[in-house]
């Protein structure tokens, strides 16, 4: 059994993959480059290919199928960057990653705190030796109503951890979890938006969730409310969000992911003039935090991502079942 990994980071993921190869008994090879038609041949002889959040379109999938690849795993929970229909038609089984929810959940709560306390503005001023207080007064999370949109593993963890802050928690999800009913009140999305001081998104990036937060939804939010997104960029209509921020309707936003970031993560683009005006506009606003889609980035989560991908690809090679398969 052989695995070929693309876009593998030598400073963290490689160590986990190498340890797993000795523990579970498989061969592997890797490159730091993202998969393309030009470098698809690197995977020749591999049973499975491991990728990160880069587009996997029919032509690239077909190239891997011709090389004998039967399994594809992405080191991310989301898998909307993979053409699943094409993969099924080609007979390539697809898996996504699983990792402990605490890393992303706690990062989202950190973003809430930073936005409510205007940390970006405070630190910018401090760097310029402006130590005044005017315009920097914040809000206490404990006094807020927090709306959690999506109560899967990560959203549920956010609900549980918010209990320590003593804030009121609302939740919205098509599937309500009985174990959360004592911790949060389930309401409709419009009700949640209208009643929350902070709205945090933890819904999957499915087609039906595309721009689930648009102009209509943003208009429903409270004056001065904060929007947090540590899930998928496609959940928010960026243009509508910028309008809501520029008008002063929203008090701020804290975003670990935005639309059209596919060619950014996780690359050093510091010397490039980026063709991403949405990111430039959002980053320029003093009440908006934009981090580079790294809420998952903890030792525990990276280890979980690599292990779940490896276990899935081993199962695919053996013709077995795995809980990580995208069906």
Catalytic residues: 232, 261, 293
Strand, helix or coil at 119? Answer: helix
> To the nearest 5 percent, what fractions of the chain are helix, strand and coil?
40, 15, 45
* d(C-alpha 199, C-alpha 197), whole Å: 7
What is the Cα Rg of the chain in Å?
21
CB half-sphere exposure, 261, CA atoms < 13 A: 22
Q: How far apart are CA 168 and CA 302, in angstroms?
A: 32
Sheet holding 93-95, edge to edge: 27-30, 2-5, 48-51, 71-74, 93-95
Structure tokens at 207: 């087609």
Backbone dihedral region for residue 112 (phi beyond 0: left; psi -120 to 50: alpha; all else: beta):
alpha
* Pairwise CA distance, residues 294 & 107, whole Å: 9
DSSP letter, residue 199: E
**293: how many CB neighbours lie within 10 A of its CB?**
20
What sign has the CA pseudo-torsion 200, 263, 103, 205?
positive
47 touches 316 (CB < 8 A): yes
């Amino acid at each position: 059994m052989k695995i070929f990994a693309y876009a593998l980071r030598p400073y963290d993921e490689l160590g986990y993959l190498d340890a797993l190869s000795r523990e579970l008994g498989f061969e592997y090879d890797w490159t730091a480059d993202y998969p393309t038609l030009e470098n698809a041949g690197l995977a020749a002889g591999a049973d499975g290919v491991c990728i990160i959040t880069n587009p996997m379109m029919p032509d690239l999938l077909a190239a891997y199928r011709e090389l004998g690849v039967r399994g594809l795993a992405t080191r991310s929970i989301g898998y909307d960057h993979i053409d699943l229909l094409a993969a099924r038609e080609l007979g390539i089984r697809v898996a996504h990653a699983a990792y402990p929810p605490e890393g992303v959940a706690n990062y989202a709560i950190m973003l809430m705190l930073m936005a409510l306390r205007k940390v970006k503005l405070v630190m910018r001023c401090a760097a310029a030796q402006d130590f005044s207080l005017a315009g920097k007064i914040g809000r206490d999370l404990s006094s807020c109503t927090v709306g959690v949109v999506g109560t899967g593993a990560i959203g549920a963890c956010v609900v549980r951890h918010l209990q320590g802050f003593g804030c009121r928690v609302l939740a919205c999800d098509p599937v309500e979890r009985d174990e959360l009913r004592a911790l949060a009140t389930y309401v409709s999305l419009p009700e949640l938006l209208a009643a929350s001081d902070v709205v945090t998104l933890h819904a999957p990036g499915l087609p039906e969730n595309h721009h689930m937060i648009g102009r209509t939804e943003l208009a429903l939010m409270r004056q001065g409310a904060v929007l947090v997104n540590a899930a998928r960029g496609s959940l928010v209509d960026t243009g509508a969000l910028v309008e809501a921020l520029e008008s002063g309707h929203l008090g701020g936003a804290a975003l670990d992911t935005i639309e059209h970031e596919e060619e950014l993560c996780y690359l050093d683009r510091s010397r490039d003039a980026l063709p991403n005006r949405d990111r430039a506009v959002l980053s320029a606003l003093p009440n908006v935090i934009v981090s580079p889609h790294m809420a998952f980035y903890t030792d525990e989560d990276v280890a979980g991502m690599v292990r779940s991908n490896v276990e899935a690809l081993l199962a695919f090679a053996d013709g077995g079942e795995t809980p990580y398969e995208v069906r």
